[in-house]
Homo-oligomer: A and B are copies of this chain.
Amino acid sequence: MATGRTHRPATRSRGIPEATVARLPLYLRALTALSERSVPTVSSEELAAAAGVNSAKLRKDFSYLGSYGTRGVGYDVEYLVYQISRELGLTQDWPVVIVGIGNLGAALANYGGFASRGFRVAALIDADPAMAGKPVAGIPVQHTDELEKIIQDEGVSIGVIATPAGAAQQVCERLVAAGVTSILNFAPTVLSVPDGVDVRKVDLSIELQILAFHEQRKAGELAAAGTVVPAVAARQESAAARRGTAAGQESVADQGPDGDVPAVMPT
């Protein structure tokens, strides 16, 4: 397995549903915005709208954390910010390492969202000796040889993998062996990890493919209904023009030899 879930029945402490956990950061962001505008209190309806969910769901989510609202009034913004931050573990400092400083790794290093909210880029690591010492986002890149040392010295438990797909599993194993127990994987590979290690995956091409599926269905439905949408017509024309072949089966799975693109891999 490597599905990014801890599979044991989760030591019956306070079982917050996974789906709820995934929404807490959303609420937190909306609340932080309110807090910055000095809004003192907010109703489930308003907050739900800001976070893009419906209010019943939000109330149920919050009910897992405890009773932090006031009936007839709403929620105290500051208090909720604190409670959610604490629940998510953001009141402590989480050093993270980013491995693979290509295009994507550099973008991540520069990402403001890392620095805020208790995360801190403890080190940037790359296999290319030519990168060593070169500063990215103000932090000097270190060579992969240092990986274990860095993780132990800094007490890193969260690692970000932004290497090519071919290197990801090996990097993953070194991270885990050195003590990392949570991994955010940007490489398009299934990582296998021992029990107790969480993996979350961010996969650009998967997201695009899901969108394409829905796009296609929209187009199909419209066509069936006899509607003609200009943009769609244009796309299909130009697509047909560009593509030599008729149905285009074998455009799938050809993309030149690998090891070319800097930090991210084919599909």
Which residues of A approach B to under 8 Å, CB–CB?
1-3, 6, 10-11, 13, 21-22, 24-26, 28-30, 32, 35-36, 50-53, 81-82, 85, 87-96, 102-104, 106-108, 110-119, 151-158, 178-184, 188, 190, 192, 196, 198, 200, 202-218, 220-221, 229-239, 242-243, 247-249, 251-255, 258, 260-267
A151, chain B: closest CB distance, angstroms: 7
Choose one: B118, B188, B213, B248; the contact of A251 (CB below 8 Å): B118
Complexed CA–CA distance, A180 and B211 (Å): 12
Choose one: B1, B22, B220; the contact of A210 (CB below 8 Å): B22
Complexed CA–CA distance, A139 and B243 (Å): 20
Contact between B6 and A181, CB atoms less than 8 A apart: no
Q: A89-B215, A117-B205 are in contact. List 9 more A-B contacts (CB 8 A).
A: A32-B252, A92-B216, A92-B248, A107-B107, A108-B204, A110-B264, A113-B266, A156-B231, A182-B214
A81, chain B: closest CB distance, angstroms: 6
Assembly stoichiometry (copies): 2
Chain B residues lying within 8 Å of A180, measured Cβ to Cβ, are 231
Contact between A265 and B113, CB atoms less than 8 A apart: yes
A6, chain B: closest CB distance, angstroms: 6
Chain B residues lying within 8 Å of A112, measured Cβ to Cβ, are 255, 258, 260-261, 264-267
Complexed CA–CA distance, A207 and B113 (Å): 11
Chain B's closest residue to A205 (CB) is B113
Chain B residues lying within 8 Å of A152, measured Cβ to Cβ, are 230-231, 234
Contact between B116 and A206, CB atoms less than 8 A apart: no
Contact between A155 and B255, CB atoms less than 8 A apart: no
Contact between A252 and B94, CB atoms less than 8 A apart: no
Contact between A217 and B13, CB atoms less than 8 A apart: yes
Contact between B115 and A32, CB atoms less than 8 A apart: no
Chain B's closest residue to A231 (CB) is B179
Contact between A190 and B90, CB atoms less than 8 A apart: no
Contact between A251 and B91, CB atoms less than 8 A apart: yes
A154, chain B: closest CB distance, angstroms: 6
Chain B's closest residue to A188 (CB) is B113
Contact between A93 and B243, CB atoms less than 8 A apart: yes
Contact between B96 and A208, CB atoms less than 8 A apart: yes
Contact between B11 and A221, CB atoms less than 8 A apart: yes
Complexed CA–CA distance, A267 and B115 (Å): 9
Complexed CA–CA distance, A91 and B248 (Å): 5
